[in-house]
Chain A
Amino acid sequence: MHIPDGYLGPQTYAVIDVAILPVWAAAASRVRRTLKSRQVPLMALGAAFSFVLMMFNVPVFGGTTAHAVGAVLIAVLLGPWAACLSVSTAIVIQALAFGDGGITAIGANCLNMAVVMPFVGFAIYRLVSGPAPSLRRKIAASGLGAYLGLVAASISAGIEFGLQPLLAHDAAGHALYAPYSLAVAVPSMAVTHLVVGLLEAAVTMGVVAALARSDPALVAMRPASRPLTWLWAGLGALILLTPVGLLASGSAWGEWAPAAVKGMVGYMPAGLQRMSGAWTAAMPDYAPAFIKDPVVGYVAAALTGAALIAAIIWLVGIALSRRDDASPVPTDDEEPS
């Protein structure tokens, strides 16, 4: 997910590079307040761990390997603000000492992997684990947080890529930087990371479980710093930003309507024709039928979708709590299931 130089235009990287500065300042201030003078070596070791974690080859299948980002894992261990600083430090060193990731794209890479990923992941972790979680619930929450944190980071990168053709193009309308529109870039990044995220989740859960067995203090619940406030504020901002999707022209790559497929290939595939009417969505095209304004429709659809997901997570939380109450609470020495 490290964006090299050349993919983002100056209109994008300059804004993000400047916008990331107050985030780093806030993170430094917060970390200084909570970790006191021990922060310096802890931050350095956290950053070094973040760097080295990305070098572990994790076997996937068929002899292939992949690596994890680990930002949510570090957020679970050190808190999201410390994770922001640690991962940012690792990204800067990767760019300047190893040439991995662009110099002008340092801000964008930090936004995706050191801000969006740990904060979204940690908020999900806190939301699902609740105030006094059992070990099993804590492990499950860390995995879900890592998964959704990585997907959120990939969507953030996809938006940055997808905005390039809109922000910078020549007289003929051809892109000067990353060439794919929002309709292609966002689904491509999101779908890829919906798969890759499974590895991130498995690694995070495995490490949290191993640490909980060997050194429970490391994964003890950190004092909450109003993470739910941040979560709701961020969610609200994202919901209000959903009409940005209307800027994209055409359909998302691979999400064409049957009529569009017929227009592209010259005939309607029989299977597609048979299956296309199997399910009728409650809100086709992300807008309730009774709302005519597309902007209001998008926001309404986002509100409905977010409320449904929140309700599902809430129900899962209740189910996990009942299961914990019914079964003996696993000790930290117990092998996680």
Chain B
Amino acid sequence: MIPVFAHIGDEHGRRRSVARRTADAVGGAVRELLQNEDLAMGPGLMQSLDPRVRLTTVLALAVTASLVRSVWVLAAVFVATMVVAAASRVDVGAFVRRVWASAGLFAVLLAAPAATSCFTPGRALLTLGPLTTTAPGLAIAVRLVARVAAGAGVGLLVVWTTRWTDIMRALTSWHVPDVVVAIFAMTQQQIVTLMRTVEGTHLARESRMLSEGSTAETRGWVVERMAFTARKSLKTADDVYDAMLARGYSGAWPSIVRLRTRGRDWLWLCGCAAFSAAVIGADKLVAR
């Protein structure tokens, strides 16, 4: 039997091994995190705003998108997120691809049955074999997909233009308990550390295996790696705590927040409030 060479699987169009797939996924996530940090540190509209204003307006836009009923108004909200992304020096093509890859396609798959007469009776538009697409069903499905895309676009604005440290600074200035902010900040750091560990162990297996092995054997190895990661996580907690004590930790977290709201922040806040009001007003007009 010719073994499947796990380490060259992707280069030769063969199926990638489980270890390679996990390593690629984890490595991709780490790269994405670092790229997001680079993007968020660069120049741009969103990046220049006070993080508190950024988070407040993005949350307001997400709520606004959830209140809209008209597909056309939802499409306008999505276009607005693309405009803001472009003004924030984000690659608009990548932005749209990411929205559809992360949420849009899944929404299409989930909404598709609702477009048929099985779930939504009504005027038939198209019949393919036993399935009939109805007009009200199509309207329900398109509205769900448009709403999910608009919501994902708004969320992606935060992900791509806001550094994690900025989110922590905003939370601190909003008087979120220090211990909560500390847990969030440390978690993000430890995620990167653990992901590097997971990527390393999977690449190590990939590099020393001629064939992937049976499904059961690979599953056993993956479970062992999970246990190793759990052990490492819990043991590291003790080391981190000892390091905190060594650096003078006494239960309180010093705050070094220096956030200042400037004229452009107030302007952006007012602009977003006006946009939200216009969106809801337009939706009422269209829905009427």
Contact = CB atoms under 8 A, between A and B. Distances in A.
Given A4-B103, A103-B151, A104-B62, 15 more contacts: A4-B106, A4-B151, A40-B241, A44-B190, A49-B233, A55-B195, A55-B198, A57-B222, A59-B18, A60-B215, A85-B183, A96-B162, A103-B62, A210-B224, A211-B227
A180 B233 contact: no
Interface string A6-42: 1111100100000000000000100000000111111
Contact of B187 (A47, A99, A176, A210): A47
Contacts of A207: 223, 226-227, 230
Given A13-B66, A41-B241, A180-B114, A218 B222 contact: no
A170 B222 contact: no
A45 interface: yes
B184 A45 contact: no
B71 to A, nearest CB: 11
Interface string B75-101: 000000000000000000000001000
Interface string B147-163: 11111101110110010
9 tightest A-B CB contacts, nearest first: A5-B151, A206-B223, A210-B227, A44-B186, A48-B190, A6-B148, A6-B147, A41-B240, A179-B114
The DSSP consensus for interface residues of chain B is helix
Contacts of A98: 29, 32-33, 159
Contacts of B230: 49, 53, 73, 77, 207, 211, 218
A89 interface: yes
B211 interface: no
B237 A42 contact: yes
A10 to B, nearest CB: 5
Interface in A74-131: 77, 85, 89-90, 92-93, 95-100, 102-104
13 contacts: A5-B155, A28-B177, A38-B238, A40-B244, A49-B230, A51-B191, A89-B184, A97-B36, A98-B33, A174-B140, A179-B120, A210-B224, A210-B228
A6 B190 contact: no
Interface in B133-151: 136, 139-141, 143-144, 147-151
A45 B15 CA distance: 33
B215 to A, nearest CB: 5
A85 B15 CA distance: 38
A215 B230 CA distance: 11
Contacts of B179: 28, 39-40
Contacts of B107: 4, 6
Given A99-B156, A99-B159, A170-B69, A55 B15 contact: no
B231 A218 contact: yes
A299 interface: no
B48 interface: no
A314 interface: no
Interface string A213-242: 011001000000000000000000000000
A327 interface: no
Nearest to B104: A4
Contacts of A102: 62, 151-152, 155
A207 B139 CA distance: 46
Contacts of B228: 210
Of A13, A172, A174, most buried by chain B (CB within 10 Å of CB) is A174
